[in-house]
Structure 1
Amino acid sequence: MESLEGLWKKLSLLDEEETGIACPKKAEPDTFTLAAKFLTKRVVNVESVARTFRPLWRSKKDVQIKDMGDNILFFNFEDECDLDRVIEYEPWTYDKHLVVFEKVTANVPLSSLAFQFTTFWIQIHELPVQCLNQETRDAIGSSLGTPLLMTDTESEGVRIDITKPLNRVRKVWSDESVIRCAILKYERLPNFCYWCGLVSHDDRYCERWLRSKGSLKKSDQNFGDWMRAEIDITT
């Protein structure tokens, strides 16, 4: 179906439609807005979300939450630094499902928010000795999505497209031949589908599973718990 934006561009507008109205301008925004799409199938409760995230975020200034419907919430921050800190510590989960955040600008309608990208921290395992260097890790990170500022951490921060299946491996080439498959493991990985590898749903709601009418077996799954990375927490 053609988008509404594409449709109106083709229409011959009436005089009243052509005239339109002037949008009020503000010198400085009162708040800084972060839109959040909750990928859980349950209806999201604003009060429950507030109880979950406010203690974790520890925002220095007030954060107001507005329900926009369809499991989309707007978080209105008084301090832009508080908003940026939330983005910095992605990914976030609620009810063990991914929460996809997107910054909102004043001139963008709600329908234009794609909720398509999220940052994951990815560990790279089983690299051959000759590839145990930052250059190789950076190349793998870039092949997965948009890498964050590279650091000396054990994992790569990469902003990935969540409309595509999670990547499990990366082939490592040398002299036009594959010398190894590096294994990718994701830190703080939320619920995702072991049939198709998408984070937008879990096994029960996968189209492949539903169409099979229960004929598929666990051994048919191409993704699994082995993609979850262990995090070394030191005190």
Structure 2
Amino acid sequence: MCGETQKKFRALVIGDGIFQFIFPIEMDATRVLRGKPWFFDNHYLNLERWKSEIHPKHYCFNLTPVWVQAWGIPFQHLSKDVGVKLGLKFGGVDEVIIPNAGSRDGCFLRIRTYLDVSQPLKRGCMIRFSTAPPTWVEFRYEKLPVFCRYCGKVGHELLSCDKRFLDLEDDSPGPVQYGDWLRASPATQQGRRQ
């Protein structure tokens, strides 16, 4: 964040894993909030604007904006409307981008939406078009930090997964359903060509 601000900011510890960032210029605070998502040590750093009437323990830091790529949509159905419908499966939609046709990267939509970090990553979904059979659309996440290949949640890895540990204790481990395929290739991320 420091490279984005005009003046130095301060950070205060105000709770367990909760910090308050103080910017001397309002424009810097606004720029940092608009620049989300932010990362620290390969984890999301979820930011919310400070409200003096809300106690720090009542803030909800579960949602972070992300770019999700939707792959597998038939070419004739690549549209912003389809992107909005897919983005609503995450909660809200800020923007939908259709990459240039004829790209070596393939046919996909980029959707800026909100990821609930308390829930498993969505691997994809079935969509139905009136002129085609149901189609599986695969989701890939841009700049995806640490996540668990067992439970699908961000913030920890397989070896430190509580769910996996409990399932192993009960002799009922499930299959690993998440993998690196959830990470979007840097080549398909806007402004990040190899």
Aligned partner of residue 83 in structure 1, secondary structure? helix
User: Counterpart of 1:54 in structure 2: which amino acid?
Assistant: C
State which structure, 1 or 2, has the greater radius of gyration over its C-alpha atoms: 1
2:5 corresponds to which letter in structure 1? S
Match of 1:84 among 25, 30, 34: 30
Q: 2:2 aligns with which of 45, 50, 54?
A: 54
Structure 1 length-normalised TM: 0.68
CA shift, 1:130, in A, is 2.6
2:106 — aligned with what?
none
Aligned to 1:199: 154
Partner of 2:85: 139
Tell me how far apart the structure 1 counterparts of residues 67 and 113 of structure 2 sit (CA, whole Å).
6
Q: Would the alpha carbon gap of residues 82 and 215 (structure 1) be closer, same or farther in structure 2, given more than 3 Å must change? A: farther
Say whether residues 1:111 and 2:57 are aligned partners.
Answer: yes
Moved more, 94-103 or 205-214: 205-214
Judging changes above 3 Å, is the alpha-carbon distance between structure 1 residues 157 and 171 closer, same or farther for their aligned structure 2 residues? same
TM-score by length of 2: 0.81
CA gap of 1:102–1:171, structure 2 versus 1, over 3 A, is: same
State the identity %.
24
Hey, what does 2:185 align to over in structure 1? 230
Q: Which amino acid aligns with 2:28?
A: D
Q: Name the amino acid aligned to 2:63.
A: F
- Let me know the Cα RMSD of the aligned residues: 2.5
Amino acid at match of 2:34: E
Unpaired stretches in structure 1, ≥5 consecutive residues: 1-52
User: By percentage of residues, which structure has more helix?
Assistant: 1
1:39 aligned residue: none
Q: Pick which of 175-184 and 161-170 moved more.
A: 175-184
CA shift, 1:108, in A, is 0.7
